[in-house]
Amino acid sequence: MRSGRGIAVAAFGCAILTHDDARAQDAYLQGVFTGSIGITDNVSSAAEPPAGPGPDADGFGTASPGLIFTYTTPRTAQTLSYTFSTSFFFLHSEASSYSNMALWSGRFVTSPRTSLTLGAAGSQGQLNTFQLEQAPGTTTIQGTAGGTTNFVQASFNEGFSFQASPVWALGQAATFLVYTPLQDRPQRTYSAANTLSAQRIFRHDTAALALSVGYTHFDNIPVTDTDPATEDTTTARDQLLTTLVASWQHDLGRRFSSQLDLGGVVATDLTGGADSLVRPAGLAALRYTHDRGEAELAYAYSATPNVFLQQIQLSHQLTLRAAAPLRPAWHLSVEGSAGGQLAQPLEANAAGELETGPTTIAVLTDVALLWSPPLVIPDFALALRYQHTNQRTAARTAELPDTRIVRNALLLSVSGAFPRRMEPGSRISMTQPFGSAGPVGAPRREPTPIEPTEGAEPSSAGDAAP
């Protein structure tokens, strides 16, 4: 743990000393840092009695230095980043953790009409601090197993787009993910997916059709056993998801846009009799984009893997994410996420038929009040943040209790970056459960796009960000 801190601090210093030379080489090296101190009423994300031992309260601190390196040419853009994070609890040192995250993404213009995107990401962390290490506007709304289990996760992605004409584009995107908890009999998850899409651009609208096929393998799934005298057993499960969705994005004005996705999903259990289950799939989203802020209200019904619970889940999810100034004269702004998810796993019953299992309801509120001083200190901010998570999973049998995990956390944070960010990125994550159906951002109020010129990047219909 000490060596990891030393590497991160040394790299941060290197960013400060070398950024001028790097920029001369069409490269940009930036150091970033976030530190916080706070309190929580559930150190290890433990379940409430009688399903678990109950929560413990404690104070804690976090430190997260990192590096972001970008390299651009007229036909390529690449980003390499590394972040080291540590969380230390004052009274419960056994729950303290550290995490490492490395990410690379590249975009390559392979011809005047085609582009290729590649990406890879790797992370190591601990479940009880997983959500606290995410930014308020991007916090994941999803059920977790709770506890202090360490995990390792790696993902790879690829995307290819072809601009067939000024208004037509074709895309392909592939992803692969592996998740491994660091424990005896690790409950690993392997997931791979491929998506084909077609996109038609109008003056104020974008229409798209996407077909996705995803395969997921779960290892060492515990078999429910209500008899404590017998040894628990495990099994494996292979499931296939086929999703077809039509998407329509529409500009509602200079700042507002909407997206409506409609389609269906076929879930197939490849273990045993290959039984299938057919369900609708859809997304409805209203978005606001401005130079000073952005927001999204979205509802989605989809089937996606949950690596933390080792399940393919059919889920209803409602989210509100926003980042906006409160009093520009005071340099005050707010950002955060709020929402809920109702999810049911796909499982095979005793007859081999595919059906839905016990319901998991997850609720999240994560909001931060930020103060940025005048531009004397670039990209510096103080934040007061509150996060509330509430998760309840129904018991499988009448003899067992429901599992409920509740946690509240209050943090005071300081963050900074050097040198100053050239172009501020998005502070919230947009909802795209079926992959990108085209550019999501400021509404377009311009005429139909023209042919891309040599060396310019064509519009993408299949980008896959890690």
- The residues pairing with 124 across neighbouring beta strands, listed in sequence order, are 100, 152
107 found inside a domain? yes
Burial of 39 from C-beta contacts in 10 A (0-12 / 13-18 / 19+) = middle
Domain annotation covers residue 275: yes
What pLDDT, on a 0 to 100 scale, did the predictor assign at position 58? 94
Distance, CA of 288 to CA of 298 (rounded, Å): 12
CA 287 distance to own-chain centroid: 18
Residue 397 within a domain: yes
Spatial contact of 33 and 13, defined as CB atoms under 8 Å apart: no
Distances (CA, A) of 282 to 213, 227, 261, 299: 16, 41, 5, 8
Tokens of 370: 């930020």
Backbone angles phi, psi at 82, to 5 degrees: -140, 135
How high is the pLDDT of residue 442?
44
- 457 lies in a domain? no
pLDDT of residue 450: 36
pTM score, whole prediction: 0.83
- 462 within some domain: no
Share of the chain above pLDDT 90, in %: 53
Q: Each residue of 73-84: pLDDT tens digit?
A: 999 999 999 999
**Residue-wise burial string across 52-69, b where 16 or more C-beta atoms lie within 10 A, e elsewhere:** beebeebebebbbbbbbb
Count of domains forming the chain: 1
Please tell me the predicted confidence (pLDDT) of residue 224. Answer: 63
Pairwise CA distance, residues 227 & 157, whole Å: 43
Low-confidence ranges of the chain (pLDDT < 70): 1-25, 224-232, 272, 375-378, 421-424, 435-466
**Concatenated DSSP letters for 259-322?**
EEEEEEEEEEE-SSS--EEEEEEEEEEEEEEETTEEEEEEEEEEEEEETTTTEEEEEEEEEEEE
8 Å CB contact between 64 and 87 = no
Q: Which domain holds residue 362?
A: 2-416
- Is 126 exposed, middle or buried (CB count within 10 Å of its CB: 0-12, 13-18, 19+)? buried
Residue 446 inside a domain? The answer is: no
Residue 254: Cβ-neighbour burial (10 angstroms; 0-12, 13-18, 19+): exposed
Q: Scanning the structure block, which residue is given the tokens 């308020």?
A: 136
Domain assignment present for residue 231? The answer is yes
Per the structure block, which two tokens stand in for 384? 């007061």
* Interatomic CA distance for residues 295 and 291, integer angstroms: 12
Encode pLDDT of 81-100 as tens digits. Answer: 999 999 999 999 988 988 99
> Could you give the CA distance from residue 189 to residue 191 in angstroms, rounded to a whole number?
7
**Cα(281)–Cα(288) distance, integer angstroms:** 24
Count of alpha carbons within 13 angstroms of residue 437, beta-carbon side: 30
Under DSSP, the state recorded for 356 is E
Q: Is residue 262 part of a domain?
A: yes
pLDDT at 421: 67
Q: Which residue has the tokens 């329509």?
A: 248
What CATH code is carried by the domain that includes residue 71? 2.40.160
Here the tokens at position 183 are 């424990």
